[in-house]
Structure 1
């Protein structure tokens, strides 16, 4: 006989979104996480090259960045013994076609400093001086230790009694007497509330619960790992991005992570690199530097999933009872995770939101795509 396990909240997905909201809810609710893969953080979370950048994203994302910052900066040392943030800095450079976008960032960003071409090359000596027509710098940009954040929340969740079931793909769901019955290959879970934190699979999961899809689009993003350029010490270099978002460079552990900033719409899957797309991106990168790409040590790809308006979805479904969306974080999922986890937990608990989060709640709601009941 198939085992049935009761819980208050069932979270689908053990990436940063699912684990974060589970850890937040566990002090007041019994929570279970189910994950279709054999380990948590297998897809987007485990493949993220994350930077905390206050100016990243639209105004909703920037508000979430603002509310996330205190948790990163004043971390719970019992959960996160080592700092979650490391000073990095972000340098944006522009060729002739990107000058206006660079100037727009300077005008509209917070603490964005316009710098000279000489200063940019001084920061990152492999840059091609003749290629750069404008540059700016954000000193507040910091590396995020994604694994430490995810593992810390897993520890918190486990300490509060959260169960994590891996290799547990949801195959069927039905609602009876105000509760969901969620079937996996070897168990049935009964829950009052289901949180859909399944990333690229969010619309697929929604269909199992009778909810209409919100038209999320998984986008593939690729990264190449290059050996350190001979004769250069990359320690202390900032992350460098092109104003037109055609490539970025991030030093990491003595090597260079270079991405073509690709956003290729794909179906949900275990993402892999398209060699042609990667080669085209590396060619664009080579135009901006004086060191050729002679060897790629390895490469990988991940999925960044966006809602139609490129703003995350966090809220109850407008038509299906007990079904909560937490998806569509796109490229902002790690740096907004503390705020979105707290936001989602407060909605599920039916608590009042802080003014800043209450103001953006309608723009995060699932009901902006699906009408409310009645």
Structure 2
């Protein structure tokens, strides 16, 4: 079977760009696992905030808000749910707070200052003296990650995308493009899209391209039971809380409290698993703010967030290998960037005209940019 484009990786990156590219091209989507989104996509903390990441990430995230607020047909339920987010600030973190205030002002993002007393009215378990103040982003939202991902997969199928699961591709260059062996089956295409997440550099080298210096980083999450009594119901309306230096975060989740030490341990590509020490650190840092006794860790998990050296995604055609397109390095921001990044990625992939703003973003994410050369 012949396709115009074959995308490797059916997580959020691959599923979203498949849906965008399939409007005009024949597309196949290959996933090595038996279920799409098994790794990073299925392990996201699922928070939408326009103040997360660097300037490029923030711009892409903000541009996608309208999609999240009014998703197109095929997305079966709302994708955003009101949460709000506090950035907690200790006395020694004033400089980080000033930087965040400036970033919010530059992008016209609402950010209010709350005293510890005002924060305690919203989060009653806040410890006295734990923070100097908080910065509140009221329009931060919870994302229905599964709803978004399944919506893109559903949309892709409706547009004729062939989704092949549990297949490890063996890729060879041909005179006219690429030949991809999938067990007893072989398909061909003109362009391969590298949406392989933590395995993106490995896939590139298999296809004859130089690595971009992408590094997977393990992040740990624990889900802990609430204190006894009625606190579970009260907690449901708490905002998320992120340390201003991103040393930890926590938020309500399914009647429990989700917490993370915001760890970034470099890792080989793998099925990531949490380590006990990181779970303990997550709880300890959360308890530095909250008077929250831990009776039980209900569950824990880890995921890999894959970054370039400058924490900006890599997107575009490889400068040395014809027909090889990068769509990777989205780190911990891929879920909230998906609507805008997939549309922009598809326009670059298909050679469609770009606005000046889109061209600027595309140049910032080019595979051959200097920062990636230095990292490789």
Pairwise same-fold verdict (TM > 0.5): yes
Q: CA deviation at 1:308?
A: 1.1
Q: CA deviation at 1:309?
A: 0.8
Distance 1:225 1:246 in 2: 17
Give the RMSD, CA atoms, in angstroms. 1.3
Gaps of 5+ in 1: none
Distance 1:235 1:291 in 2: 15
Distance 1:62 1:358 in 2: 16
Q: CA deviation at 1:10?
A: 0.2
Partner residue, 2:94: 99
1:217 aligns with 2:215: yes
Partner residue, 1:176: 174
C-alpha offsets along residues 137-158 of structure 1, whole Å, 9 cap, x if unaligned?
Answer: 0001001100001111111111
Distance 1:102 1:229 in 2: 31
Distance 2:67 2:245 in 1: 31
Residue correspondence of structure 1 range 161-310 to structure 2 within 5 A:
161-171=160-170, 173-231=171-229, 232=231, 233-310=234-311
Partner residue, 2:62: 66
Q: Check the 8 A contact 1:313/1:328 in 2, yes or no.
A: yes
Partner residue, 1:353: 354
Partner residue, 2:129: 130
Distance 1:242 1:293 in 2: 20
Distance 2:328 2:37 in 1: 15
The alignment of Structure 1 onto Structure 2 pairs a total of residues equal to: 365
Distance 1:191 1:229 in 2: 56
Gaps of 5+ in 2: none
C-alpha offsets along residues 19-38 of structure 1, whole Å, 9 cap, x if unaligned?
Answer: 00001111100000111111
Q: Check the 8 A contact 1:225/1:255 in 2, yes or no.
A: yes
Distance 1:323 1:257 in 2: 39
Q: CA deviation at 1:103?
A: 2.9
Q: CA deviation at 1:366?
A: 0.7
Distance 2:245 2:126 in 1: 16
Q: CA deviation at 1:46?
A: 0.6
Distance 1:210 1:133 in 2: 53
1:87 aligns with 2:86: no
Partner residue, 1:13: 9
Q: CA deviation at 1:324?
A: 0.3
Distance 1:356 1:54 in 2: 18
Q: SS state of the match for residue 348, structure 2?
A: helix
Q: SS state of the match for residue 272, structure 2?
A: coil
Partner residue, 1:330: 331
TM-score (norm 2): 0.94
TM-score (norm 1): 0.95
Q: Check the 8 A contact 1:102/1:134 in 2, yes or no.
A: no
Q: Check the 8 A contact 2:115/2:132 in 1, yes or no.
A: no
Q: SS state of the match for residue 155, structure 2?
A: helix
Q: Check the 8 A contact 1:99/1:243 in 2, yes or no.
A: no
Q: CA deviation at 1:282?
A: 1.3
